[in-house]
Structure formats: structure tokens, C-alpha cells
């Protein structure tokens, strides 16, 4: 059985740094609201479900946060203000281009007596410079706020706090819910305090259904916002139906459907009025185009249309 979202909050404490993050969110939202700007809350990456209070083991999911991190960059390119609510250590905008050893290989080290100089190798300048330029443009103007979560319950607390801080933006706020949020969890009251011991034998773990936050989010927390949810499926035949079901149930504005294996090249936009596919050609993929650039342009035009027709 699914627990009610209010019971979930009542039985899970906020994360230890919750008040600090709430203050950051509040200040960020107030500062940018003065400019009459569009603001985007992006959720990104997967939530964990701990198996013990003193967590050694947890249930996780596949999401690396690519969709959210790439989309954040494109929203910034469109001059939007971005709150990037992401899983700790998942991909982040800009740095996602330089993961692993690849970044080290772009640098050159020169040691001359007391002086050490680090430079970008000439053949890497064309790669680093445009990304660094975009990074500086958004960071120097304070257009992006990073807030991170790890567990499902951190995500619940931070998402609600972010919505409350965004409520004054009304229809200018876009919620872009790309995080892969766990559907199952172990209630706090049923979790052991300490690490489960193998000597006690294999544990039987009973998971409960997580309440969907979209319901209170759309109806109570931020009813005027332009809410975009994502829907991931592995069976192509189910995708559009599931997207339509979500729209009917939560009554938000747009669902973007994707299939696990093809999510980098193809998505489907489903709104109450219509549905259409966005996909990249083989040539576009080879030229380094990312589907998020198309998703973001389309979301921005859907939002502009929403502002014109609803207000």
C-alpha cells in the first residue's frame, strides 16, 4: 500500500543541512524575482533508499543525471535562472564534459625551478574554451543555484521547500522533473538502526510504495507553475498511454516520455492537446548534438504559449 505524502513527511526527518539549503533557496528566489525572470527548477539524478538508519547499504537506480545536467546548460543559454536540485555526485552542468582522466589529459604541466605552470594543451583549447565561457557567463551572474540530495527523503524535503520558495513566481516558474525518484522504500520505523549482520541470515525486505509528490506539488504547493514531468518506460507500447495517464491523474502541463535504451536520441512530448516526437538524426548525433538542446527549446516555447494563453 502507498503511504500518504503527509505521513511520509511526518515519519521522516529533514536532512541535517535542510535549514541552510532552505535559506539559500529563499534568498536565490527572492533575488531573481526582482528581475521578473523565468525560473526553472530542474530535478536530476536518482534517489537512494537506505536499508539501515546508519546506512551501509541502499537501493539505487541507473540515473547518472545526464538529462538534468545537460538541460541546465541549455536553459542557461536561453538566459533562464536555474535551480539545479541534483543527486550528490551525479553529473553537473559544465563539469560533466570533463569526467575522469580525460580532463587530466587536456592539461600540460611545466616545472621551471620554483615556478609551476599548468596550461590547457593547444589541441584541447577548442574543447575547453566554449564550455568555460558558458560556465563563467552563468556563474558570474549568479544564475544557477546547486542544491543536492542523496536519499528519497532528502529529495522530498528539498523539493517541497523549493516549491514553497518558488510560489511567488506563479506561472513564470517551470518545474522540470527529470530525477528518477524511487517508487519503493522501507519506512523509517521498519528500518534497523545498525548494519544488517550476515550471521542473522538473508534478510526479507518488504518495500512500500512511495507516495507520488506530483499530486500535492500540482494541487497545493505551486498550482500556477508550468510543471513538466518525465516518464521512463522500457516497453515502447506502454509509453504514450502512461504519459497520458499521468497527465489525467495529476493535471499538469506536459509529460516528456522516454525509453531507457533510446533516451539519448528520442523523446515524446505529450500535452493535454497533442503529442509529438523529437529525435536526433544519425548525422546530428555524430556532430555532437544533444537531444536536451531540442527538449529545452521545445519546453520554452510550450511555456511561452502557456503564458500567452493562460494569463
Residues that bind ligand PMT (CB under 6 A): 43, 63-67, 177-181, 183, 210, 212-214, 229-232, 258, 263
Grid cell at residue 119: 596550461
List, in order, residues 6 or more apart from 172 with CB less than 8 Å away. Answer: 36, 37, 38, 39, 307
Residue 295 CA to residue 278 CA, distance in Å, equals 8
CA distance 208 to 65: 25
Minimal distance in Å, beta carbon 310 to ligand PMT?
A: 21
How far apart are CB 140 and ligand PMT at their closest, in Å? 27
Beta carbon of residue 111, minimum distance to ligand PMT (angstroms, whole number): 40
Least gap, CB of 68 to ligand PMT (angstroms): 6
CB of 74 to ligand PMT, least distance (A): 14
Q: Which is nearer to ligand PMT, 25 or 32 (CB)?
A: 25
Give 49 or 178: the residue with its C-beta nearer to ligand PMT: 178
Question: In the complex with ligand PMT, which residue's Cβ is closer, 49 or 177?
Answer: 177
Bridge partner residues of 228 (DSSP)? 176, 254
Is residue 85 a contact partner of residue 147, using CB atoms and an 8 Å limit?
Answer: yes
Q: Which element (helix H / strand E) includes 8?
A: helix 5-11
186: which residues sit within 8 A by CB, 6+ positions away?
Answer: 49, 50, 51, 205, 206, 207, 208
Asked if residue 295 lies in contact with residue 256, where contact means CB atoms within 8 angstroms, the answer is: yes
Q: CB-wise, 231 or 253, nearer to ligand PMT?
A: 231
Residue 263 or residue 266: which is nearer to ligand PMT going by CB?
263
Amino acid at each position: 500500500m502507498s503511504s500518504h505524502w503527509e505521513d511520509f513527511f511526518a515519519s521522516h526527518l529533514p536532512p541535517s543541512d535542510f535549514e541552510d539549503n532552505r535559506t539559500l533557496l529563499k534568498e536565490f528566489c527572492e533575488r531573481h524575482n526582482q528581475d521578473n525572470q523565468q525560473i526553472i527548477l530542474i530535478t536530476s539524478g536518482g534517489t537512494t533508499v537506505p536499508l539501515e538508519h546508519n546506512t551501509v547499504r541502499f537501493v539505487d537506480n541507473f540515473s547518472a543525471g545526464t538529462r538534468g545536467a545537460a538541460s541546465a546548460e541549455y536553459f542557461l543559454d536561453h538566459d533562464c535562472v536555474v535551480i539545479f536540485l541534483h543527486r550528490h555526485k551525479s553529473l553537473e552542468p559544465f563539469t560533466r564534459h570533463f569526467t575522469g582522466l580525460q580532463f587530466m589529459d587536456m592539461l600540460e604541466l611545466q616545472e621551471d625551478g620554483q615556478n609551476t605552470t599548468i596550461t590547457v594543451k593547444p589541441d584541447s583549447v577548442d574543447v575547453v574554451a566554449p564550455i568555460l565561457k558558458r560556465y563563467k557567463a552563468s556563474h558570474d551572474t549568479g544564475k544557477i543555484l546547486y542544491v543536492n540530495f542523496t536519499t528519497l527523503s532528502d529529495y522530498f524535503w528539498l523539493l517541497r521547500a523549493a516549491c514553497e520558495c518558488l510560489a511567488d513566481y506563479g506561472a513564470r516558474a517551470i518545474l522540470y522533473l527529470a530525477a528518477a525518484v524511487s517508487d519503493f522504500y522501507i519506512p523509517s520505523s521498519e528500518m534497523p538502526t545498525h548494519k544488517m549482520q550476515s550471521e542473522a541470515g538473508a534478510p526479507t525486505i518488504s518495500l512500500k510504495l512511495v507516495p507520488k509528490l506530483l499530486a500535492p506539488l500540482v494541487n497545493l504547493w505551486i498550482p500556477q507553475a508550468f510543471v513538466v514531468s518525465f516518464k521512463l518506460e522500457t516497453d515502447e507500447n506502454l509509453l504514450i498511454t502512461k504519459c497520458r495517464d499521468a497527465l489525467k491523474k495529476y493535471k499538469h502541463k506536459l509529460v516528456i516520455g522516454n525509453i531507457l535504451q533510446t533516451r539519448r536520441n528520442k523523446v515524446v512530448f505529450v500535452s493535454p492537446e497533442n503529442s509529438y516526437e523529437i529525435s536526433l538524426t544519425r548525422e546530428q548525433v555524430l556532430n555532437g548534438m544533444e537531444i536536451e538542446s531540442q527538449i529545452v527549446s521545445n519546453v520554452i516555447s510550450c511555456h511561452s504559449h502557456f503564458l500567452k494563453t493562460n494569463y
